[in-house]
Amino acid sequence: MSNAVAAKPTADHTSGSSFTQISGSRKVKDKFATGIVYLAMILALTPLIWVLANVIIKGLPAILSPEWWAYDMVGQPNSQPGGGIAHAIIGTLIQVIVTSVLSIPIGVFTAVYLVEYSRGGWLGRVTTFMVDILTGVPSIVAALFIYALWVTTLGFNRSGFAVSLALVLLMVPVIVRNTEEMLRIVPMDLREASYALGVPKWKTIVKIVLPTALSGIVTGIMLAVARVMGESAPVLILVGSSPSINWNPFEGNQNSLPLFMLQMFRAGSQSVVLDRVWGAALTLVLLVALLTIGARLIAKRYSVKVS
C-alpha cells in the first residue's frame, strides 16, 4: 500500500506536465491566430487610410475657400480659378433625398414582411430571390433599364428624378438585407411578452421590434445612402450636367458631385481642374460622414434600450 501511495505523486506530476504542455501549445496557437487577425485588419485598413489621406491632403485647399460652398460654375471657365460647387452639392442632396423617400419605406416594409409574416411561403421565397438578384445588379444596368422604361418607353425627359429611380434599384436591396438582419436579432422574448399582454402583432412590430432594431436599421440605410451618393453611371446616362443650381428634379439638367468630378476630369489636366476634382471628392466624403454621424445620433437618441 505504501508503494501505491508513493507512486501516486509521480502520476499526478506526469499528468500536470502534460496539461502544461497542452496549455502552452494552445497559448501559442492563440497568439498566432490573434496576430493573423491583427495583420489582416492592418492590411484592410491600409488602403482606406491611404485613400482618405490623399483625398484630404489634395482636396483640402479647394474646400477651404468660401466661394467653394457659396457659388456655382455659371460663367466660370473650367481652366480658370474661381467658382464653386454649390450646384453639385444641391443636386446630389436632392437626388439622394428623393431616392431615400422612395427606397426606405419599400425596403423596411419588405424586410418586415420577410421576417414577421412570410413564414417560408412562396411569396417570401420569390421576394428573397428578387432581392438577391437586385443586390448584384451593376449601376450601369439599372441606369439603362430606367432609360429604356422612363425615357424611351414612357417619353419623359432625362432629369434628376430619373437618376433617383435608378438609384432606388440600387438602394432597396441593401436596405432590405440590412433591415432583415437587424430584425432577426431582436429577441423573440420581446415579441412573446408583448403578445402575452394582448398587444396586436402590427403594434408589437411598430412599438417594440422596429425601435429595438432602429440603430442597426439606420446604419444599414446610411450604408445604402453612401453607396448611391457616389454612383456615376446613372447621372451620366439619365441627366445632363449644368453649371447652375437646379432645385427641380423633374425638369432640366441637374449636376451632382460624381457628375461634376467626371466633368472636371474630362476638362483637362490643369492644376485648377484637378484641384476641383479632389475638392469634390473630399466634399462627397464629408457629406457622407455628416449624414452618417447625424443619423446615428438620432437613432441612438430614439432607439429602445434592451437590458
Asked whether 218 and 306 are in contact (CB, 8 A), the reply is no
Asked whether 147 and 237 are in contact (CB, 8 A), the reply is yes
- 41 and 141 together in one domain: no
Predicted confidence at residue 303, as pLDDT, reads 63
Predicted confidence at residue 76, as pLDDT, reads 78
Give which of 146, 152, 151, 149 is closest to 165, Cα–Cα: 146
Burial (0-12, 13-18, 19+ Cβ within 10 Å), 89: buried
Which three-class secondary structure state does DSSP give residue 55?
helix
Asked whether 256 and 235 are in contact (CB, 8 A), the reply is yes
Domain range for 282 is 68-302
Look at residue 302 and tell me whether its pLDDT is greater than 70.
no
Give the separation between CA 69 and CA 72, rounded to whole angstroms: 8
Predicted confidence at residue 62, as pLDDT, reads 84
Look at residue 298 and tell me whether its pLDDT is greater than 80.
no
The domain tally of the chain equals 2
pLDDT tens digit sequence for 215-238: 888 888 888 888 888 888 888 898
Predicted confidence at residue 171, as pLDDT, reads 92
SS3 content of the chain, % helix, strand, coil (to 5): 80, 0, 20
Over residues 53-82, the mean pLDDT reads 84
DSSP string, 136-147: T--HHHHHHHHI
Give the separation between CA 35 and CA 31, rounded to whole angstroms: 6
Give which of 75, 61, 29, 106 is closest to 282, Cα–Cα: 61
Confidence of residue 166 (pLDDT cuts 50, 70, 90): very high
Give the separation between CA 73 and CA 84, rounded to whole angstroms: 6
pLDDT tens digit sequence for 118-146: 877 788 888 888 988 888 888 899 999 99
pLDDT tens digit sequence for 241-290: 888 888 988 888 888 898 888 888 887 777 788 888 898 899 998 988 88
pLDDT tens digit sequence for 175-191: 999 999 889 888 888 88
Would 178 be classed as within a structural domain?
Answer: yes
Phi, psi of 194 (to 5 degrees): -65, -40
CATH number of the CATH domain containing 178: 1.10.3720.10
Asked whether 229 and 256 are in contact (CB, 8 A), the reply is no
Give the separation between CA 178 and CA 168, rounded to whole angstroms: 15
- 201 and 277 together in one domain: yes
- 29 and 102 together in one domain: no
Last residue of a domain, one of 64, 80, 105: 64
- 88 and 191 together in one domain: yes
Confidence of residue 172 (pLDDT cuts 50, 70, 90): very high
Give the separation between CA 229 and CA 283, rounded to whole angstroms: 11
Average pLDDT, the chain: 84
Which three-class secondary structure state does DSSP give residue 209?
helix
Strands (DSSP E) found in the chain: none
Predicted confidence at residue 291, as pLDDT, reads 84
- 108 and 186 together in one domain: yes
